[in-house]
Amino acid sequence: MDIKSKIRDIPDFPKEGILFRDITTLLKDKEAFNKVINKFVSFYKDEGVQKVVGIESRGFIFGAPLAHQLNAGFVPIRKPGKLPSDVYEAKYELEYGTDTLAIHQDAISPGEKVLIVDDLLATGGTMSAAVDLIKQLGGTIVGIAFLIELAVLKGREKLNGQNILSLITY
């Protein structure tokens, strides 16, 4: 079964000229969702991952099952104002303006082996901010995993030096 065929293309979402890759048609298909999680697990199972970090909110959908399967803890990176204890924040550029991500300061201990997970690699701005946060906490990033990579946007270049896995490429 080809997992790429389970992605639904939605033209002009969220705005005109954007072709949105809708993963909900994959998620609701139990074989496809199972296959995606198992592919990630088989790739990382011998890496000694101690914390899986998922980026709000679609990163949670892949990060949480991976944490459970890899016998690791799960750490959410969230939008500002959502995490109740002391946080570090990182800003990143959008097409217009900036956005911010936050992580709890006690989420990761120095030297812990960290896998970061999100659904989509586009320009790489979001993941680059997440990498900065993990480094600030002293975590050792053993890998970065995406379901989808939009190769034409060259997000990989912004994540220079990281081990990147993407299961589906456009």
- Which residues are known to be catalytic? 58, 95
Contact pattern for a second copy over residues 81 through 100, marking x by CB under 8 A: x-xxx---------------
Stretch that binds a second copy, among 68-76, 124-132, 143-151, 153-161 (CB under 8 A): 68-76
Task: Figure out which of the listed residues 33, 44, 92, 146 binds a second copy, where binding follows CB under 8 A.
Answer: 33
Asked if 126 interacts with a second copy (CB under 8 A), we say no
Sequence-distant contacts of 45-51: CB under 8 A, at least 24 apart: 45/69, 45/70, 47/113, 47/115, 47/142, 47/143, 48/113, 48/142, 49/113, 49/114, 49/115, 49/142, 49/143, 50/112, 50/113, 50/114, 51/75, 51/107, 51/108, 51/112, 51/113, 51/114, 51/115, 51/139
Asked if 143 interacts with a second copy (CB under 8 A), we say no
Are residues 158 and 123 in contact, defined by beta-carbon separation less than 8 angstroms? yes
Q: What are 35's two structure tokens?
A: 């296959």
Stretch that binds a second copy, among 88-96, 102-110, 135-143, 154-162 (CB under 8 A): 102-110
Asked if 6 interacts with a second copy (CB under 8 A), we say no
Asked if 146 interacts with a second copy (CB under 8 A), we say no
Task: Figure out which of the listed residues 3, 7, 44, 50 binds a second copy, where binding follows CB under 8 A.
Answer: 50
Q: Least CB distance from residue 14 to a second copy, whole Å? A: 7
Distance (Å, rounded) from C-alpha 1 to C-alpha 16?
A: 32
Asked if 133 interacts with a second copy (CB under 8 A), we say no
Q: What are 25's two structure tokens?
A: 């048609």
Q: Which residues, 6+ apart, have CB-to-CB distance to 30 below 8 Å? A: none
- The footprint of a second copy (CB under 8 A) covers 8, 10, 13-14, 20, 22, 24, 27-30, 33-34, 37, 50-51, 54, 56-58, 60-62, 64-65, 67-69, 71-76, 78, 81, 83-85, 104, 107-108
